[in-house]
Amino acid sequence: MSAPELHRPVNPDRIGPSGLNITVDASPEECAALAERMHLPAIHSLHCEFRLTDEGRGHFAARGHLRARITQTCVITLEEFDTEIDEAFQIRFVPAGEETAVIDPEDDDDLPYEGNSIDLGEAAAEQLALTLDPYPRSPGAELPTEAQDDAPNPFAALAALRKLN
């Protein structure tokens, strides 16, 4: 397994009773490596602030704020365009093997860690990946009229028949 492109290990012992604030800023080289991993033309900047608090039993809550400036490729025009990301998030770091088995969209995501190292860099990279639009459109990009589907819905005829019965 190769090392993550953005590696910022933090020893959980540093997270005292009053919590710990840490900022992760990616270098230009780290941004380039992350852009390659995420299949983006470019990541110009990535800045992530974490507020870590100890929940006991090796579990740590993290509130964060991610800011990034990236270049994406429009799925309609295939032209590159720049966009800004500004997202708040909440996650939990838990010892590996103690992740919640049931996925609940209302709960914070559990990120496992091993030993005495929580990787805030990888957590920031994962949060960036989660914010990316899988079908990015540049501002004002519209489908050409010949590409728009104006064909009638095949289920519309079935619905009409059902109303007759």
Domain boundaries, the chain: 9-164
CA atoms 91, 95, 99, 100: torsion sign? negative
What's residue 106's pLDDT?
Answer: 73
What's residue 65's pLDDT?
Answer: 98
What's residue 90's pLDDT?
Answer: 96
pLDDT along the chain (165 residues), means of 10: 84 94 98 97 98 95 98 94 97 90 78 93 97 92 66 66 63
Alpha carbons within 13 angstroms on the beta-carbon side of residue 115 total 5
What's residue 58's pLDDT?
Answer: 92
What's residue 151's pLDDT?
Answer: 61
The pTM assigned to this predicted structure is: 0.82
Output b/e per residue, 14-42; b: 16+ Cβ within 10 A: ebeeeebebebbbeeebbebbbeeeebee
Percent helix, strand, coil in the chain, to 5, is 25, 40, 35
User: Locate tokens 């103690």: which residue?
Assistant: 98
Helices (H), the chain: 28-37, 120-131, 154-164
